[in-house]
Amino acid sequence: MTPARSGTHPILIEQDVVLARQLARKLCQECGMRLIDLTKLVTAVSELARNTVVYGGGGHMDWDIIEDQARTGLRLTFRDEGPGIPDIKLAMTDGWTSGGGLGLGLTGAKRLVDEFVLDTAPGQGTRVTITRWA
């Protein structure tokens, strides 16, 4: 049986953050990521999954194992239907945090991955897509 190449994981409560980290770790291993890359991605997952619960009111993490020529990677999208981010510039300021998280904020998560896309608007929820290549 061929392992799944994509899926969705609910992130509705704090325990789902732990499960999202565990899933991300497993998927990184399947992609053949080095320990340092796995650690960076799992750290970003911790921040983004927690944001999904705390600020977005819960949502989902969509995952895809992707390939680009000789590379394999993992793309994760965190999506919620929450209030959105009213001030993207402030949210993407180094050192800024709304409090209570790992202190990484979105900019910290962005530095830990190879690709980072933020799509949000007040009243329209938030989608953060990250990619890490093995």
Q: Model confidence over 73-129: pLDDT tens digits?
A: 999 999 999 999 988 888 888 766 665 555 578 999 999 999 999 999 999 999 999
Using DSSP's 3-state secondary structure scheme, residue 60 falls into strand
Q: What is the pTM of this model?
A: 0.91
Domain 6-133 in this protein, CATH class: alpha beta
How many helices (H) and strands (E) the chain has is answered by 4, 5
Q: In terms of Cα–Cα distance, which of 85, 26, 14 is closest to 55?
A: 85
DSSP bridge partners of 75: 64, 131
pLDDT score recorded for residue 105 = 82
CA dihedral 66, 75, 117, 15 (to 10 degrees): 170
Q: Tokens for 29?
A: 């291993």
